[in-house]
């Protein structure tokens, strides 16, 4: 009789174990960045019209400062269903993607991605406009004649004002 009772509990054990694993599997799997793949850059969860919060004490107009902590960058792989306009492309050589703000005055250290769907912190060390609009470039590395950078339009908003 005890054996029969234990056998009846086995399906319940699988259900309970399965529920514990379900929560751990909610993040999308990561995939290596490879040549000949289309992609989009992601800034704070958006592929366009993203907001980047900055911390710039004092007057912010025309000034540069640094991003606030707690913001993210990511690269996602996409499968074009029509036009590929507005998509990045790793080209014939790309195995990584470097993200950095497009600025004319400061060289910022890029965040380099080797896999898709893995968020990385937006560096608080970057120097960016305190307010206004700009771009963050997601550039395939190594580059090739077939590679294409994806640009995410961002709006910088100063939260220290």
Mean pLDDT calculated for residue range 53-71: 89
What gap in Å lies between CA 44 and CA 42, rounded to an integer?
6
Provide the residue range defining the domain that includes 116. Answer: 28-158
* pLDDT at residue 14 in the model: 38
Position 13 in a domain: no
Q: How confident is the model at residue 70 (pLDDT cuts 50, 70, 90)?
A: very high
Read off the pLDDT of residues 98-121 as tens digits, 9 standing for 90 and up.
Answer: 999 998 778 899 999 999 999 999
State whether residue 8 is helix, strand or coil.
Answer: helix
pLDDT-based confidence at residue 161 (cuts at 50, 70, 90): low
CA 116-121-127 angle, 5° bins = 120
| pLDDT range class, residue 62, cuts 50, 70, 90 | confident
Number of domains in the chain: 1
SS3 content of the chain, % helix, strand, coil (to 5): 15, 40, 45
CATH of the domain at 147: 2.60.40
Higher pLDDT, 28 or 116: 116
């Amino acid at each position: 009789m005890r054996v029969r009772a234990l056998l009846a509990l086995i399906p319940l054990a699988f259900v309970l174990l399965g529920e514990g694993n379900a929560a751990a599997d909610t993040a999308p799997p990561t995939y290596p960045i490879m040549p000949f793949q289309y992609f989009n850059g992601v800034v704070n969860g958006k592929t366009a019209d993203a907001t980047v919060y900055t911390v710039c004490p004092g007057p912010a107009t025309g000034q540069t400062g640094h991003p606030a902590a707690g913001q993210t960058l990511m690269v996602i792989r996409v499968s074009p269903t029509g036009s590929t306009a507005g998509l990045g492309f790793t080209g014939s050589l790309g195995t990584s993607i470097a993200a950095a703000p497009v600025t004319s005055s400061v060289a910022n250290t890029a965040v380099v991605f080797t896999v898709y769907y893995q968020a990385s912190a937006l560096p608080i060390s970057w120097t960016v406009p305190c307010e206004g609009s700009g771009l963050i470039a997601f550039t395939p590395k190594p580059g090739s004649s077939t590679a294409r950078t994806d640009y995410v339009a961002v709006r910088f908003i100063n939260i220290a004002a």
